[in-house]
Amino acid sequence: MPKVLNVAKRAGSQARKTSAGKTGTSHARDAEATQKRILAAAKKEFAMNGLAGARVDTIAEKAEANKRMIYHYFGSKEALFERVLEDAYADICRAEQSLKLDHLDPKTALETLVRFTWQYYLDNPEFLTLVNNENLQKAVHLHGSKVLPVISRNRLDMVESLLARGEKAGIFRRGIDAMQLNITIAAVGYYYITNRFTGSIIFDCDFMASGMLRKRLAFNIDTIVRTVCK
Partner DNA sequence: TATATAAATAACCAGATAGTTATGTGTGGT
Partner DNA sequence: ACCACACATAACTATCTGGTTATTTATATA
Can you give the binding site for a second copy, defined by CB under 8 A?
49-53, 129, 131-136, 138-139, 142-143, 145, 148-149, 151-152, 156, 177, 179-180, 183-184, 186-188, 190-192, 194-204, 215-216, 219-220, 222-223, 226-227
Q: Please, which of residues 31-60 interact with DNA by CB under 7 A?
A: 31, 33-34, 54-57
- 28 is an interface residue for DNA by CB under 7 A: yes
Taking CB under 7 A as the criterion, the residue among 39, 42, 47, 65 binding DNA is: 65
Nearest by Cα to 229 from 170, 178, 179: 170
CB of 140 to DNA, least distance (A): 14
Residue 196 contact partner, candidates a second copy, DNA, none, CB within 5 to 8 A by sort of partner: a second copy
- 226 is an interface residue for DNA by CB under 7 A: no
What's the chain look like in SS3? CCHHHHHHHHHHHHHHHHHCCCCCCCCCCCHHHHHHHHHHHHHHHHHHHHHHHCCHHHHHHHCCCCHHHHHHHHCCHHHHHHHHHHHHHHHHHHHHHCCCCCCCCHHHHHHHHHHHHHHHHHHCHHHHHHHHHHHHCCCCCCCCCCHHHHHHHHHHHHHHHHHHHHHHCCCECCCCCHHHHHHHHHHHHHHHHHCHHHHHHHCCCCCCCHHHHHHHHHHHHHHHHHHHEC
Residue 222 contact partner, candidates DNA, a second copy, none, CB within 5 to 8 A by sort of partner: a second copy
CB of 29 to a second copy, least distance (A): 34
- 16 is an interface residue for DNA by CB under 7 A: yes
Residue 106 contact partner, candidates a second copy, DNA, none, CB within 5 to 8 A by sort of partner: none
CB of 211 to DNA, least distance (A): 39
Question: What's phi and psi for 116, nearest 5 deg?
Answer: -60, -50
Using the minimum distance from each CB to a second copy, give the nearer residue, 49 or 66.
49
Contact by Cβ (8 Å): 101, 113: yes
C-alpha–C-alpha distance, residues 140 and 153, integer Å: 21
- 76 is an interface residue for DNA by CB under 7 A: yes
Taking CB under 7 A as the criterion, the residue among 68, 100, 143, 174 binding DNA is: 68
Contact by Cβ (8 Å): 194, 128: yes
- 62 is an interface residue for DNA by CB under 7 A: no
Amino acid at 86: E
Using the minimum distance from each CB to a second copy, give the nearer residue, 106 or 189.
189
Where on the chain is the footprint of DNA (CB under 7 A)?
A: 2-3, 5-7, 9-11, 13-14, 16-17, 21-23, 26-31, 33-34, 54-57, 65-69, 71-72, 76-78
